[in-house]
Amino acid sequence: TDIISPKEQTVVEKEGYLLKAKIAEGGKKLRKNWSTSWIVLAGGKIEFYKESKQPALANLKAGYKPEWVDLCGANIEWTTEKSSRKNVFQITTISGNEFLLQSDIDFIILDWFHAIKNAIDRLPKQ
Ligand code: I3P
């Protein structure tokens, strides 16, 4: 169709499945709940979709808004303390939201770490 979401006009730098757990909101600790998420890195932010991109696009037409993270001023670091899983890194936003992302596959999580770190480093710091 000719229907193009404004979102789709930003360049998608990377997308794919990772395990995600949000562990804090506005600095307040949340109960950890890992789930598979379709993750889209684009336009200085990360969007988290519950399903694959196709159902997600159908959702967009219905006005579905994915959860998203503003990477401006965010911090990214590997952590071995916040999970018993391997290959976990944490993203902390300026607003005090904390997310863990994980993949058992080394090159997948490494690619994601570097893509997100590069995106953060290209953005203004505040
Ligand atoms: C949590 C669940 C998580 C685990 C977390 C548990 O239990 O098992 O998978 O995190 O460990 O508390 P529940 O489902 O009862 O909330 P990891 O898989 O990342 O280790 P934690 O409390 O040490 O964070």
In contact, 92 and 101? CB cutoff 8 Å: no
Residue 61, pLDDT score: 59
Q: How much is the ipTM here?
A: 0.89
Measuring from atom 12 of ligand 1, which residue has the nearest CA? 32
Measuring from atom 14 of ligand 1, which residue has the nearest CA? 33
Quote the distance between the C-alpha of residue 13 and its chain's center: 12
Going from the C-alpha of 124 to that of each of 71, 119, 120, 121, the distances in angstroms are 10, 10, 8, 8
Radius of gyration of the chain (CA): 14
Measuring from atom 10 of ligand 1, which residue has the nearest CA? 83
Residue 78, pLDDT score: 98
Residue 30, pLDDT score: 98
Residue range 44-87, pLDDT digits in tens: 999 998 865 555 565 555 666 788 999 999 999 999 999 999 99
Distance of CA 32 from the midpoint of ligand 1 (Å): 6
Q: Counting atoms of ligand 1 from 1, which one is nearest the CA of 84? A: 20
Residue 62, pLDDT score: 60
Distance of CA 10 from the midpoint of ligand 1 (Å): 35
pTM of the full structure: 0.86
92: CB partners within 8 A, 6+ apart: 74, 75, 76, 98
Share of the chain above pLDDT 90, in %: 73
**Average pLDDT of the segment spanning 26-39:** 95
